[in-house]
Structure 1
Amino acid sequence: MPGIGPFQFQLHATDGPARRGTFHTPHGPVETPVFMPVGTLGAVKTLSPGEVEDVGASMILANTYHLFLRPGHERVRRLGGLHDFMRWPGPILTDSGGFQVFSLGHINDIRDEGVAFQNHIDGTTHLFTPESVMEVERALGADVIMAFDECPPGGCDRSVAEAANRRTLAWLERCRTRFLELRDRDDDGPAAPVQALFPVLQGNVYADLRRDQARDVLSMGDWPGLGIGGLSVGEPKPKMWSTLEVLHPELPEDRPRYLMGVGYPDDLLEAIGRGVDMFDCVAPTRNARHGTAWTLAEGQVNLKAARFQDDTAPVDPGCDCYTCLTFDRAYLRHMLVAGEAFAHRLISIHNLRFLIRLAEESRQRIIDGTFQGWSTDWLERYRATRAKRRST
């Protein structure tokens, strides 16, 4: 069972590139493929930790950028770290905040030292460096922490992608140095977390840059897992899939692979079929707040539509979530139209369970050796509803 310290990865079965494994962490095992709900500010929006557990989540994500800004990483440390602060008993992953710095903060300067940016809340100026990000993530205390990287926009010029690759590699070395210094010091007290540092692979949509970056990162040492960044940032979907196909043979079989920020249902299956193990995305809860739910038979549906006002069916008849077992579409539409936040909570429960059930079934199909045929059929059925809506 290869791994580093308490972070071990067991690969149980494969079906083509699709992989079924278990990622062991200090806060428990994570069965893969896995979808991780996003708790940006320390909570999965509208849901309690118990409700997140009830939908089948085993690991969640929190956001370094947002928690750095409020309530502050040192406050979280004083309050016992993220696990105690959030009351979440399972594993937690924190991203580095790099994506948010580039997408939310007004960037004043990107240089080799780091990134100076304006806080999107109050306009104050901050500097993120590889070293400071490691210090913030250490204080937050997640199980898995991501290295600070530069994420260029989708479809950028090759020269921009090359520069981002060079900077990401240089920052990774600095992240690792500071990570090891923090890990080995003895002044963190009894709450000192045991953490795994994942590098982030960049390269945009350029196949050779992706290969080169993967090889360069792997030549730097042994990593407990690998993040795949810079996808689903505006590039065409076929480019995302071809990039994963390029990376698959370059990555070690005995380490988990985390595709960052991807989690629509069809994207999940496409990526699992190309060797990805871990996913996160805000889409399940964000869509829920707009009244949008996922179903297999009808694809993505907007429950605010008038056609649901007398519909006594559950959101998805095949779903075992609390929402589908308890309420019908007519009630959910009423709650949405009336502006009741309860609807957002109920649809969030359903959307998260929809994705987590999809990951669960994928795991079983990989074990059975039927994943490739099943996923093709599932995707055809799910996407047929989209094609039908476009034609009417």
Structure 2
Amino acid sequence: MKFTLQATDKFSKARAGEIITGHGTINTPIFMPVGTAGSVKAVHQRELRDDIKAQIILGNTYHLYLRPGLDVLEQAGGLHRFNGWNKPILTDSGGYQVYSLTEVRKIREEGVTFRSHIDGSKHLFTPENAMDIQRTIGADIIMAFDECTPYPCDYQYARRSVDMTHRWLKRCCERFDTTAPKYGYEQSLFPIVQGSVYKDLRIKSAETIASFERDGNAIGGLSVGEPAEEMYAMTEVVCSILPENKPRYLMGVGTPVNILENIALGIDMFDCVMPTRNARNGMLFTKNGIINIRNEKWKNDFSPIEKDSDLFADREYSKAYLRHLVHAKEILGAQIATLHNLHFYLWLVTEARSQIIAGDFYEWKNKMVRQLAQRL
């Protein structure tokens, strides 16, 4: 993998760059639609590629490991061939899913034992097999196995967790460096900074993972319930330490406002289920604010969802029609809303990139943040 820094903003830490992988080029800042089980919910790969213009998607190691299973993925030749997506894929390590399975998992130095949410069967994730599993899935970017601490989190627990995450990282790197990709293209390993909302732990973790000198670095354990100000403070601290010549990925973030504010702090890559999950519940993100399409006020509104509708793939549908579909529980309603939100998120980061290159990002960001937070 190769990362090239192409432009930086004059009045913030915002960056525009280019990541070259075995499955193509990614222009940053970038948002990665989440394809949990090898599919971005309610969207065809064709629509992701041609309408939404997604450059990379995310797959979930925990879910793919359980279903369809590694034997199926290996026989298919990896996830790219299995799902027909010929652009880059990033896989998380399963650490976040394990974090969320509080009732059915046990964390030890060896790794994490957990029970499947599908059939209750018992499994073990270790730093070593997390690398093996992601090698088999075939992701272009593989995440290190870590522990994601909850919020709020006791300082002593967060400290012990960070230390274990660093020990696990050493094991991940040893396994990754002694194994080879299975499908004929390079794979890259990103370590993950942890430390909850404790500045000293975040500094320690950022310095530690930077010392491993991998192709890129990630920031985890944020967007787990902490106030946005805490997220921004920790991101700023970490970005001041992580090397400038490598991409920075803020995991699980977030709202459009979160994305713009974190781009301003030096983040290059984002993922979040919000645009797809919220779409299925009738929440739409637009350039002028947030729409709850279920509301009565849209019943007779025959205008497009987005004013500048030529920019969006759903331009032929009115608010009134989408509201009708959502209330009627028609699958097409979820599809249209999902297409809109993903298209908006990709437009947002693409426009941010253009503003950085043009030298106008900071002023544009401040104007957009005010607009995007409005409820329409």
**Which category describes the TM-score, using the shorter chain as reference length?**
over 0.9
- What does residue 278 of structure 2 align with? 287
Q: Deviations over 1:216-274 (max 9, x none)?
A: 1222x321000100000011110000011111210111100000011311111011011
8 A contact 2:64–2:70 mirrored in 1: yes
Match of 1:255 in 2: 246
Q: In structure 1, the residue corresponding to 2:333 is in which secondary structure?
A: helix
Match among 153, 160, 164 for residue 163 of structure 1: 160
Task: Pick the aligned partner of 1:344 from 319, 334, 337.
Answer: 334
1:262-307: CA deviation from partner (whole Å, max 9, x where unpaired): 131111101101100000011111011111111222x211111121
Counterpart Cα distance in 2 of 1:85 and 1:105: 31
Counterpart among 209, 222, 239 of residue 217 in structure 1: 209
For 1:40 and 1:207, the matched residues in 2 are separated by 31
State how far apart, in whole Å, the 1-side matches of 2:101 and 2:340 are: 28
Q: Any idea what SS the aligned residue of 2:245 has?
A: coil
Residue type of the partner of 2:167? A
Kept in 2: contact 1:64–1:137 (CA 8 A) = yes
| Residue 42 (structure 2) aligns with | 46
Letter in structure 2 aligned against 1:341: I
Determine the structure 1 residue equivalent to 2:65: 68
Task: Report the residue type matching 2:54 in the other structure.
Answer: A
For the 8 Å contact 2:39–2:83, the answer to whether it is kept is yes
The whole-number CA distance in structure 1 between the counterparts of 2:236 and 2:304 is 38
Aligned mate of 2:171, from 174, 189, 208: 174
Q: CA RMSD in A?
A: 1.2
The DSSP-based 3-state class of the residue aligned with 1:106 is coil
Cα deviation digits, residues 78-111 of structure 1 (max 9, x gap):
1110100110010000000110011036344211
SS at match of 1:149: coil
- Partner in structure 2 of residue 8 of structure 1: 2
Structure 1, unaligned runs of 5 or more: 1-6
For 1:357 and 1:268, locate their aligned partners in 2 and report how far apart those are by CA, in whole Å: 12
Letter in 1 for 2:336: L
Tell me which residue corresponds to 2:194.
202
Q: CA deviation at 1:192?
A: 4.2
> Partners in 2 of 1:260 and 1:73 — Cα distance?
24
Q: Which residue of 2 aligns with 1:23?
A: 19
Whether contact under 8 Å (2:313, 2:343) holds in the other structure is no
- Equivalent in the alignment of 1:4: none
**Structure 1 residues 141-150 or 103-112, which shifts more?**
103-112
Question: 1:198·1:225 contact (CA, 8 Å) conserved in 2?
Answer: yes
Contact 2:210–2:217 (8 Å) recurs in 1:
no
Q: 1:125 to 1:105 in 2, by over 3 A?
A: farther
Residue identity matched to 2:325: M
Unmatched segments (≥5 aa) in structure 2: none
Aligned-partner SS, 1:35: strand
What are the within-5 Å matches in structure 2 for residues 208-247 of structure 1? 208-219=200-211, 221-247=212-238
Shift in Å, 1:318: 2.0
1:382: how far off? 2.2
Contact 1:142 1:193 in 2 (8 A): no
Write the letter of the residue equivalent to 1:286: R
Question: For the residues of structure 2 that align with 1:379 and 1:349, how far apart are their CA atoms?
Answer: 22
Asked if 1 retains the 8 angstrom alpha-carbon contact of 2:141 and 2:188, the reply is: yes
- Measure, in 2, the Cα distance between the counterparts of 1:73 and 1:288: 31
* Partner residue, 1:353: 343
Asked whether the equivalents of residues 105 and 119 of structure 1 are also in contact (C-alpha less than 8 Å), the reply is no
Q: Which runs of 4+ in 1 moved over 6 A?
A: none
Matches within 5 A, 1:287-366: 287-297=278-288, 299-319=289-309, 320-323=311-314, 325-366=315-356
Percent pairwise identity: 47
Aligned residue number for residue 268 of structure 1: 259
TM-score (norm 1): 0.93
Partner of 2:291, secondary structure, is strand
**SS of 1:41 mapped into structure 2:** coil
The answer to whether the 8 A contact 1:114-1:128 is kept is: yes
Q: Which whole-Å CA distance do the structure 2 matches of 1:48 and 1:256 have between them?
A: 28
| 2:21–2:186 contact (8 Å) kept in structure 1 | no
Residue pair 1:105, 1:118 contacting (<8 A) in 2 also: no
Q: Does 1:152 align with 2:146?
A: no
